Amino acid sequence: MTRQILVVSTLAELDTARQKLAGPVGLVPTMGALHAGHISLVKLALEECASVLVSIFVNPTQFGANEDLAKYPRAIERDLELSTAAGEDLLWTPTAEGMYPPGFQAWVEVGEMTRTLEGAMRPGHFRGVTTVVAKLFSAVRPDRAYFGQKDAQQAAVIRQMTRDLNFPIEIVVGPTIREDDGLALSSRNEFLQGPERSAATVLYRSLNAAKTAYEKGERDGEKLRSVMKDTLALEPLANVQYVSCADYATLQELAHVEGKTLLSMAVFVGKTRLIDNFVLG
C-alpha cells in the first residue's frame, strides 16, 4: 500500500510535522524537477532512516545574476507523484519569502575550497548553497542528510560546513545516476535540444578516456586534463568551461596524482551548462 505523503510549506507546519516523525530522520534536499538521481537518494535514505523528509526549494541565492533561476525547471505535480511512489514521509516546499524574509542578512560561508572549480565559475554560488542548507538543517534537525556525488564539490563543501559548525548530522553521499549512454541525470538535461542530447555524452566519454589512461598508469595531472580536453574538443557542440584533475579532499589541482582524486568538468552543450565527475583511487 502506498504511504500517504504529507506536504508542508511554512516553518510552523514543518515543525508540527517534524515532531511526529520517528527517528532517525533522513533529509534529502533538492531543487525539484525530480528524476531518478534524486529518487536514488530517497531510496538510500529510506533504507537507513525511520522517516524521510524531502525538501524542494529552488534557492534563489545560489543562482548568479546571469544564471537560469527564472527558467530553472519546476514540476511540482510530477514531483508529488514521484515522491509518493518513492515512499518518503514528508515533503517540504518552502517559499522564497519564508526562507528569506525581509531584512534577512545572515550568511554561511565556507572558505578556500569554495574558490576553485564551480566556485570559481559561479561566484557566490556556494554561499547560497551553504546558507540554505544550514537553514534546512536547523529547521529539520535531521540525523542524516543525503547528497549526490554528481555535485562533488557541493558534497565536499557541505561536509566541511557540517564539521566546522558542529551540526550533529551525518552527511551521506550517493553515487551519480546516469542514463544508459552515460549522461548524468540532471534537471537541466531537459533543456538539451535535438543533437545536443547525444553531444552531451561527451562529458562521460572524456571522463572515461581519462580513467582509462589512469588505469594504464598515467599519473601526470596535466596529461589527464589533456586527455579529457582532447575528447571534449572532438565534439563541436561542446564548449568547455573548465576541466580539472584535483585532490579529492582539498580540490586543488594536481601536478601528480597519488591518492583519491577528483576528475571534473563544466561544459556548455548549446546553452545548457552541464557538470560531471569521476573519482579515482
Contacting positions for ligand AMP (CB under 6 A): 30-31, 37-38, 40-41, 147-148, 150-151, 174, 176-177, 184-187
Beta strands in 220-260 (DSSP E): 238-247
| CA gap 79, 91 in Å, rounded | 10
80 or 177, CB closer to ligand AMP? 177
Nearest position to ligand AMP, beta carbon: 148
Rounded to an integer, what is the distance from CA 200 to the centroid of its chain?
Answer: 18
Q: What is the DSSP string of 13-77?
A: HHHHHHHTPPSSEEEEEE-SS--HHHHHHHHHHHHH-SEEEEEE---GGGS-TTS-TTTS---HH
In this structure, the chain runs to a length of 281
| CA gap 232, 235 in Å, rounded | 6
Question: Shortest gap between Cβ of 62 and ligand AMP (angstroms)?
Answer: 9
46 or 213, CB closer to ligand AMP? 46
Question: Shortest gap between Cβ of 281 and ligand AMP (angstroms)?
Answer: 21
Of 35, 38, 125, 256, the active-site residue reads 38
204 or 214, CB closer to ligand AMP? 204
All three cell numbers of 15: 515543525
Question: Shortest gap between Cβ of 94 and ligand AMP (angstroms)?
Answer: 14
154 or 231, CB closer to ligand AMP? 154
> Could you confirm whether 38 is annotated as catalytic?
yes
Question: Shortest gap between Cβ of 129 and ligand AMP (angstroms)?
Answer: 9
All three cell numbers of 145: 542528510
Cα distances from 62 to residues 32, 68, 109, 123, 170, in angstroms, run 15, 11, 12, 9, 23
Give catalytic residues, as residue numbers.
38
